[in-house]
Amino acid sequence: MVHTVVGFRNKELVILEDEFRAVSDRFLLMSDDGSVGEKGLVTNALEKLILDGEAYDEVIAIGPVIMMKFVAALTKKYDQKTVVSMNPIMIDGTGMCGGCRLLVDGEVKFACVDGPDFDGHLVDYDLLMKRNAMYREHEQAHLCRLTGKEAAAVGK
């Protein structure tokens, strides 16, 4: 049984809806401004599912780090195993450059060779967000290939 909760800032930014629906037994679409689906955050929808009695073998969170941070905080509260997919800046992808360095349970890990998936309850999200912001100015100079909008704006 797969329940999928996706969230976007607004209707214009929705992608892959048909694909998500095709692989989901239950699909919940959220938007920050309520222009599509239900108004709210993915954490609002997930908490409602859990409070309605759903228990999951595993919650998988993929997307902006801030969203994964709050999903993990929520699932920790309800003791739901959670896997997050880390997206730090990667350079060589071989574990040599250190660009994708993370702290997981207090240990240094490299997303490219040790991940990118980690136990969501053990990641230091604040450190990752700080590191990911290092090149924000340069990212804003490029357009996202999926949306045609500024890459940094899409990931917020």
Q: Which residues bind ligand FES (CB under 6 A)?
A: 90-93, 95-100, 110, 112
CA 75 to chain centre: 14
Distance in Å, CB of 52 to ligand FES, minimum: 40
Angle of the 42-51 helix axis to the 65-77 helix axis, nearest 10: 20
Report the chain's C-alpha Rg in angstroms: 16
The token pair that represents 115 in the structure block: 């991940």
Residues whose CB falls within 8 Å of the CB of residue 156, separated by 6 or more in sequence, listed in order:
9, 64
Residue number, 97 or 152, with CB nearest to ligand FES: 97
* Shortest spacing between CB 108 and ligand FES, in angstroms: 10
Q: Which is nearer to ligand FES, 92 or 119 (CB)?
A: 92
Which residue lies nearer to ligand FES by CB, 30 or 112? Answer: 112
Q: Are 57 and 32 in contact (CB under 8 A)?
A: no
Rounded Cα–Cα distance for residues 77 and 73 (Å):
6
- Measured distance CA(52)–CA(99) in Å, rounded: 41
Closer to ligand FES by Cβ: residue 2 or 134:
134
> Cβ of residue 118: shortest distance to ligand FES, in angstroms?
14
Q: Considering the complex, what minimum distance in angstroms separates the CB of residue 91 from ligand FES?
A: 5
Interhelix angle 125-132/65-77, rounded to 10 degrees, is: 170
| Nearest to ligand FES of 54, 114 (CB atom) | 114
Question: Smallest distance from the beta carbon of 93 to ligand FES, in angstroms?
Answer: 5
